Every structure is written in structure tokens, then in C-alpha cells.
């Protein structure tokens, strides 16, 4: 695996196996974003309306009470569920799984521990193309 790709995996996945190869791991990841050489999978808690629009039309777009420039994503479904409960209320949200081109997802702004929950990313609508949206948990 090329050195740059290893570094991207460390930053995105945090697998402790990379320690054996001389790379640092700070131990803060739980279930991390899943990546392959070409794709990165992230998760998002969404309202029922955004769920229907995103899954049905394979697009993410601004909606009521959201940023006009992009969307936030969790690096695990578990953390997406925690944000969903906090923002929408228990049982009032769905979770979508979104696959991005890995080179696009690596450009998203990233927080190690957003809102005290876990790793998160923010991608602009321009950075998000193309993408694939799958339902993970319906509202």
C-alpha cells in the first residue's frame, strides 16, 4: 500500500495495526469510517423528509434548518444514531449510509470528537459529487 494511502487510512480509520508499521494512533476511534482504495462510507442521521428525498433521489441538498453549503456526517452508524437522538429525538430520525469517492471525502473538514460524541466530517455540496446513498435505518 503506498505511503500516502496508508496515512489516509490512519487519519480516517485509526486502525491500531498501523502502529506496527511506525504510524501513530491516538485510540479515540470506535467504529470508524469504512474505506477502500476508491470509496469512503460515512453515515448521517436525517429527518423523515430528508430520508425520503436522499434515498429516493440519490441527492443531498439544503433543507429547512440546515446549512446551505453542505452536510455533516458521522464516521460510524452508532455516532450518527447519537446525533439523531440529540437533534431529532428518539425514534424520529433515519440513518443513511453515504458512499463518496475517497479523494473527495478526504477533503471534508474533520473533527476528532464533535459535540462530545465522536469523529465527524463536513462536506460541501461541491465536494460530495458523485455519491451513493443507501438506507441504513428507516425513520
Q: What Å distances lie between residue 106 and 33, 64, 123, 132, CA to CA?
A: 11, 27, 10, 16
Look up the domain containing 58 and give its range. Answer: 28-137
Digit-coded pLDDT (tens) for 39-53? 999 999 999 999 999
Chain segment 89-118, per-residue pLDDT in tens: 999 999 999 999 999 999 999 999 999 999
Count the neighbouring beta carbons within 10 Å of the beta carbon of residue 20.
7
Residue 119 domain-assigned (yes or no): yes
Structural domain contains residue 16 = no
Instruction: Report residue 121 as a C-alpha cell.
Output: 466530517
Inside any domain, residue 59: yes
3-state per-residue secondary structure call for 64-76: CCCCCCEEEEECC
* CATH for 67: 3.20.170
Q: Is 1 exposed, middle or buried (0-12, 13-18, 19+ CB in 10 A)?
A: exposed
| pLDDT band (50, 70, 90) for residue 34 | low
Residue 139's pLDDT band (boundaries 50, 70, 90)? confident
* C-alpha triplet 94, 98, 99: angle, nearest 5°: 165
Closest CA to 134 of 100, 85, 106, 111: 100
Residue 33's pLDDT band, with cuts at 50, 70 and 90, is low
Indicate whether 96 belongs to any domain.
yes
- Tens-digit pLDDT profile for residues 55-97: 999 999 998 888 999 999 999 999 999 999 999 999 999 999 9
| pLDDT tens, residue by residue, 15-27 | 333 333 333 334 4
How many domains are there within the chain? 1
- 123 in any annotated domain: yes
Within-domain flag for 20: no
d(CA 28, CA 17) in angstroms, rounded, equals 14
Residue 8, in any domain of the structure: no
19 found inside a domain: no
Amino acid at each position: 500500500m503506498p505511503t500516502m494511502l496508508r496515512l489516509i487510512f490512519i487519519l480516517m480509520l485509526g486502525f491500531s495495526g498501523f502502529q506496527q508499521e511506525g504510524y501513530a494512533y491516538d485510540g479515540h476511534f470506535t467504529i470508524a469510517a469504512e474505506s477502500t482504495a476508491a470509496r469512503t462510507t460515512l453515515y448521517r442521521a436525517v429527518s423523515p423528509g430528508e430520508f425520503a428525498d436522499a434515498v429516493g433521489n440519490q441527492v443531498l441538498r439544503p433543507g429547512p434548518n440546515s446549512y446551505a453549503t453542505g452536510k455533516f456526517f458521522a464516521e460510524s452508524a452508532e455516532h450518527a444514531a447519537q446525533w439523531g437522538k440529540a437533534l431529532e429525538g428518539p425514534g424520529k430520525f433515519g440513518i443513511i449510509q453515504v458512499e463518496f469517492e475517497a479523494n473527495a471525502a478526504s477533503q471534508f473538514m474533520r473533527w476528532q470528537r464533535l459535540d462530545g460524541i465522536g469523529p465527524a466530517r463536513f462536506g460541501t455540496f461541491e465536494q460530495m459529487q458523485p455519491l451513493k446513498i443507501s438506507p441504513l435505518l428507516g425513520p
